[in-house]
A and B are shown apart, each in its own frame.
Chain A
Amino acid sequence: MSMQNINFTLNGQAVSTEIEPHRNLVELLQRFDLFGARESCGQGLCGCCTVLVDDKAVSGCLYFATWVDGKSVTTVESLDANGALSIVQQAFIDCGAFQCGFCTPGFVLMVHQLLKEHPNPSDDDIVHYLSGNLCRCAAYPEIIEAVKVAARR
């Protein structure tokens, strides 16, 4: 399979690599030792592989790796890059907004996009933005509370 050369910004740093054209974004990130975006359903239905591309949430499992050429990719690993958790991450911990934590990176990134676009989200805003993320431990009430706590901070 012929490789394709891509150049993109990964968590603020310019990177370039070669990748087969059939690989998806989750697989690309794994080659950079980034495992926060987790492929769960592989159909874009669960939100566990959520990644921000040019500040817009995408499902990494449905997004071809080569499409990030020339774009900016943000993963959950960037959120505590300066050694401190983001406000959203800390709010999730303070509210106990997870049990197993498998879905948490996807929720956290989606909440970052929500609060960027709606700093004081209504309940409708919250469920609208998070309706594409599934949590099998069903920590939804705690997640909604965490969003409100993060918005207040």
Chain B
Amino acid sequence: MLDAIAARMNWSEPFGRGSGTVRRGRGVAIGFKASISPTTSVAIVNVSADGSTTLYTSTVDMGQGSDTAFAQMVAEVLDLDSEDVRIVHPDTDVTPYDMGTLGSRSLFHMGNAVRLAAEDARTKLRALAAEAGLPENTNYPPAEIFKKRYGMQAGNVIGTASFVPTYKSPDAQTGLSDNVTPFWMIGGAGVEVEIDTETGHVRVTKLVNAADCGKPINPGVARTQLSGAAIMQLGFTLSEDMRLDGGQVTNASLADYKIPGIRDIPPMQNVLVEAEQHSGPFGAKGLGESGTFGVSPAVANAIHDAVGVRITSLPITAEAVLRALRAQAGQPLEDE
């Protein structure tokens, strides 16, 4: 992944350092994070007599695209079009248990459960085909199997599965475990900045995001999620400062708490570094948080590269950089 970032940063090429009061720098950073463990995910796949298929899960699709990915997985196993898979959204009266939509776990944990549930349905469909006297290992559409078996368009096949990855708690003495997470998220970023040394203003002029996503189930959705996560992290890095007074947030308004707008987006490249996650569904793994890991430290590294000051708290506002520059020059701002 570092190679992917370095190539897009032209890392081995000469780099202009700026002149006068504007100084340029660049930095990279990578991070990795465990997903959450131990957890359980359960999925139900219901194949109806007309061949239409419904997936029941308790994963909340808040925009990350889990519905799309799960529909693709069911369709892949049952040889359907993904548009033909209907998703029933979380409802404790109806959908089976899931631990939660967090920790970048849905694609991996629920994805494994969905795949296994679809495979369970496929096994049962094959048994039904055998009962109907259809030859083995032929690919009859489900609707034909039902019709042949029951003499009319009737019946259902329900596949279900739970996915519970193995887990070993950290040792009480050493804090170590050789199986603390079912997969690791790995994300990184490369950043170029310009610093106005008179004001401390930081302008990000290039942002390269990369993440190891295993084998992406839907590359378009994955790339959008990687990009969105990095831009959100860029907001935390440069402008988002939640101020508290006596436990109360004092800037709870979009006028005072500045999230990135369309003018704040630097030229970006988003890179899915493909790998095979053997324990994941179809080689995939979670990506929800990976795009955030490298951004803040890469910006801080780039600032250090440009002007030699090391900022260690967020957000890295113009004021924070100017204070550090003045302190470095032995002329701290008067209120320090």
Contacts and interface: CB of A to CB of B under 8 A. Distances in A.
Q: Do A and B come from one complex?
A: yes
Given A96-B224, A136-B259, A143-B262, A45 B64 contact: no
B255 A141 contact: no
A139 B228 contact: yes
Interface in A100-153: 100-101, 126-127, 130-131, 133-144
B64 A99 contact: yes
Contacts of A133: 261-262
A130 B259 contact: no
Contacts of B65: 99
B62 interface: yes
B175 interface: no
A92 interface: no
B315 to A, nearest CB: 16
Contacts of A137: 63, 228, 232
A96 B221 CA distance: 7
Contact of B224 (A45, A99, A130): A99
A118 to B, nearest CB: 16
Interface of A is mostly: loop
Contacts of A99: 62-65, 224-225, 228
A43 B255 contact: yes
B216 to A, nearest CB: 13
Given A99-B65, A127-B263, A141-B265, A134 B254 contact: yes
B220 interface: yes
B268 interface: yes
Contacts of A144: 262
Counting chain A residues whose Cβ lies within 8 A of the other chain, the interface size class is 20 to 34
Interface residues of B, number: 25
B221 to A, nearest CB: 7
Interface in A55-97: 96
A42 B254 CA distance: 10
B62 A142 contact: no
A130 B224 CA distance: 19
B300 interface: no
A46 interface: yes
A29 B228 CA distance: 31
Interface in B187-224: 220-221, 224
A34 interface: no
A136 B221 CA distance: 16
B295 to A, nearest CB: 12
B255 A136 contact: no
Give me the 9 closest cross-chain CB pairs, A-B, nearest first: A100-B63, A99-B63, A138-B231, A45-B254, A138-B228, A41-B254, A137-B228, A130-B262, A140-B265
Given A99-B62, A138-B231, 19 more contacts: A41-B253, A43-B254, A46-B254, A96-B220, A96-B221, A99-B63, A99-B228, A126-B262, A131-B261, A133-B261, A136-B259, A137-B228, A138-B227, A138-B228, A138-B230, A138-B232, A138-B235, A138-B260, A139-B227
Interface of A: 41, 43, 45-46, 96, 98-101, 126-127, 130-131, 133-144
